[in-house]
Chains A and B, each alone.
Chain A
Amino acid sequence: NAGVTQTPKFRILKIGQSMTLQCTQDMNHNYMYWYRQDPGMGLKLIYYSVGAGITDKGEVPNGYNVSRSTTEDFPLRLELAAPSQTSVYFCASKKDLKETQYFGPGTRLLVL
């Protein structure tokens, strides 16, 4: 198993540009999550999904969108990039309620 994979590893965006951060897991996990991590800060939840077709907002959803058309994929969309979205983005997944979350390697995003 590859676990949780994320692409790209690093990206520079100009203000106002759009992009999609990709996340794929091959563990047949129901739950998937998107977090952002700012320097010296913990992880803040952006969006999560409890299964294909079901998504919900987390703590900091403004400026982002998600979709979950398959169990494996959970892409995160930034529509109009802003400098405040400069961060490291982590995707995570888990099988069910009492299981632990497995994290991907992260995507570093710089918005200039």
Chain B
Amino acid sequence: QKEVEQDPGPLSVPEGAIVSLNCTYSNSAFQYFMWYRQYSRKGPELLMYTYSSGNKEDGRFTAQVDKSSKYISLFIRDSQPSDSATYLCAIARIKAAGNKLTFGGGTRVLVKP
């Protein structure tokens, strides 16, 4: 079983719709959770990170963590064509050697004008 599972998509939505992305993980030792956005032929860039269960908002983005279910989500409100990218979840244990991240496979999102 993979440590982090993420639906590869692609996920196609009309402009203005809510985009809903999620990941599941298998190890309850993971303590912090991130979402990265990756445009085509670019490096990943951090969107959101959180250490705790619950919701965290940043503009149009909301990250949600449910540690009891080992489930994390990212919601994008009022989606724009510029949100078209691959979204990667990443999780980590703070005290792991080198503080390594474990990535999901990424979900491709296409927002159509």
The answer to whether A and B interact is yes
A56, B103: Cβ atoms closer than 8 Å: no
A104, B98: Cβ atoms closer than 8 Å: no
Sorting the interface of chain B by its residue count into under 10, 10 to 19, 20 to 34 or 35 or more gives 20 to 34
Q: B2 to nearest A CB, angstroms?
A: 9
Name the contact of A103 in the complex, choosing from B45, B100, B104 (C-beta under 8 A): B45
Residues of A within 8 A of B (CB-CB), count: 26
Q: A42-B88, A42-B106 are in contact. Are A103 and B98 (CB under 8 A)?
A: no
Say if the beta carbon of A50 comes within 8 Å of chain B.
yes
A42, B4: Cβ atoms closer than 8 Å: yes
| Alpha-carbon distance A48/B43, docked complex (angstroms) | 17
Interface majority SS (helix, strand, loop, mixed), chain A: strand
Mask, A40-51, CB within 8 Å of B = 1, is 111111001110
A101, B46: Cβ atoms closer than 8 Å: yes
Say if the beta carbon of A58 comes within 8 Å of chain B.
yes
Q: A90 to nearest B CB, angstroms?
A: 5
**Chain B residues within CB distance 8 Å of chain A:** 4, 6, 8, 32, 34, 41-46, 49, 88, 94, 97-101, 103-106
Mind listing 12 A-B residue pairs with CB under 8 Å?
A42-B104, A42-B105, A43-B44, A44-B103, A45-B101, A48-B100, A50-B98, A92-B43, A98-B94, A103-B44, A105-B42, A106-B42
